[in-house]
Chain A
């Protein structure tokens, strides 16, 4: 079974631009969660999508948004990029139950110049 895949793996953008990251979950998984990892703040929860609906949300500004498609693939968008948005963005998929193990992808490394 293929694991969680994230594209692109690396991305360089400039301040003010917007970016879209993609996550393909493990086949059959219906939940996709997104996390931001920075050296200063560590791993922080962005949001979770289940069956095309945002089920949970962390404490990030509205510039961070996401969506999920009918095949469970998810995209995350960040608008008006700031230097502080430079981070490793990880997505995790699970079957969808609250206690289900989350499987993480390798992440997308975003650098904002």
Chain B
């Protein structure tokens, strides 16, 4: 079935890099996504990667995709306290919906 797994918590120091990992099951997903959710807010699309790509860089964000292992990661360089949030990995479901992981709560310590 369709499933997305990610670790629940990550704690880093300000200025360090954060790496959030995700595994997914549906290899037919054309795009894979990373969303960010801040307290009291909805989901904000951070970045996405086309399934034929291995890597995508967007300013401080780097997405790595290992299609063989169905592994996706999000690296945030020079992590700031404002990056503290919950990060969701998502794949495309067969019903035209998004299948989300449970989210990784990133805590950034000053």
Chain A interface, DSSP helix/strand/loop, else mixed = strand
Name which residue of chain B comes closest to A43, CB basis.
B100
Known: A99-B30, A99-B31, A102-B98. A45 touches B93 (CB 8 A): yes
The interface size bin for chain A is 20 to 34
Asked whether, in the complex, the Cβ of A56 is within 8 Å of the Cβ of B42, the reply is: no
Asked whether, in the complex, the Cβ of B44 is within 8 Å of the Cβ of A106, the reply is: no
Asked whether, in the complex, the Cβ of A101 is within 8 Å of the Cβ of B101, the reply is: no
Tell me the minimal C-beta distance from A61 to chain B in angstroms. Answer: 17
**B residues within 8 A CB of A57?**
95
**B residues within 8 A CB of A32?**
none
* In the bound complex, CA of A56 to CA of B93 (Å): 11
**B residues within 8 A CB of A106?**
40-42
